[in-house]
Amino acid sequence: MPASGTVHWIGAGLSTGSGLATLCDTADRVRLWHRTEERAAQSLSALGLTGRAEPRAYTLTALAAELAPGDVVVSMLPAPEHGPLLATCVAHQAHFACSSYVSEAVLDQVPAAAAAGIVVLTESGLDPGIDHLFAHSLIARARTEIGADTAAEVSLTSYCGGIPAVPNDFKYRFSWAPAGVLNALRSPARYIEYGEETTAARPWEATRTHLVDAEPFEVYPNRDSIPFVDQYEVPPAWKPRTFIRGTLRLAGWLDAWQPVFEELRHGDDERIAALAQELAARYPTTDADRDRVVLAVSLDVRADSGRSWSGRYLLDMEGDAQESAMARCVSRTLALGVRKVLAGTLPPGLSRAAETPERSEEWLTELGRDGIDSTLDSTRHKSEGL
């Protein structure tokens, strides 16, 4: 289904930033849908986009009434709302894009979307998104140096966090809904450590110190890292020794959050929802705040022959008066994917930001031009006699 040139951006929360402006430069028409038309107009004004995009009051019914075949719907809504939204897109032959992980509700509709020629773009933000690009690139480089068929042990860590640029007593700055932050901590984390699959029922209890350029942070695993061994195309001859995708926090976060952890241990859903509201009121995000995004992805491959290769990507960015670092990273990455949908260069069906090493390099180059800078360091070693 050829793209029509019209983009519907749904939601104007903390992660909506200058990526929306790049789409106003690219698309024929952009509509920003928010809780009310007035709130949408206010968001456009704050982004300097008044007159460049049309404000709309969002309901699924109202959106459906304005969808045309080939339109692109960009969801900044919570993941549970993606299923009904994608169903509406499929019914109206509209493409769909989001920065979230692929959910079962989305996955179930991919065959119908593909049959209708519709692109379903997911995992195209910061984490998930840029982290995938880094991992694919590192593994491709290591394959070239070590050899995909060479027996080796591999360690991969991928840690990402939105943190305050100036540390506060709480050691945190909410860059997404507090309820989402708390519920993520309530979800078990599965990962590989010392060559064995491990599950942390309470992820924060697996927190450890992690140095990034000699700066200490605290990190812990999140979600399920195991499926990404295949998604990142780790060669079967390489045995994962460590494979952890997780969250990065400021040093001191574990101590500062102990009262929160006590609530998470004993509170029910109702209490945790109330706690989220209390924390949002106690630690509000203000215009004077500046955030910092740190994403560090490291890969170490050691072959049985003695050869080894190590590489690391680092993204370290601070927000400014115009935009938070989180909004910049998420919205510009997502907008890059949407521009590819508009250009017709993504195939129908399910896509992620990173599908192949070649595409990862392409996206990283384009993100660099869009102001999302990162650094790559690598080291190669050979054993004596080789």
DSSP 53: B
Active-site residue flag, 127: yes
Pair 238, 154: CB distance under 8 Å: yes
The token pair at 225 is 């890292």
In Å, the largest CA–CA distance within the chain is 71
Pair 273, 180: CB distance under 8 Å: no
Please state, in angstroms and rounded to a whole number, the distance separating the CA atoms of residues 366 and 336.
8
Q: Say if strands 308-318 and 215-221 run parallel, antiparallel, or are unpaired.
A: unpaired
Q: Give the alpha-carbon dihedral of 362, 368, 370, 371, to 10 degrees.
A: 160
User: Cα(first)–Cα(last) distance of the chain, in Å?
Assistant: 54
Which of 130, 109, 128 lies closest to 120 in space, CA to CA? 109
Pair 60, 88: CB distance under 8 Å: yes
- Residue among 25, 71, 127, 316 flagged as catalytic: 127
The string of DSSP letters for 218-281 reads EEEE-SB-THHHHHTT--TTEEEEEEEEEEEEETTHHHHTHHHHHHHHH--HHHHHHHHHHHHH
CB within 8 Å of 172: residues ≥ 6 apart:
163, 164, 249, 250, 253, 256, 257, 283
Q: Say if strands 215-221 and 95-98 run parallel, antiparallel, or are unpaired.
A: unpaired
**Residues with catalytic roles:** 127
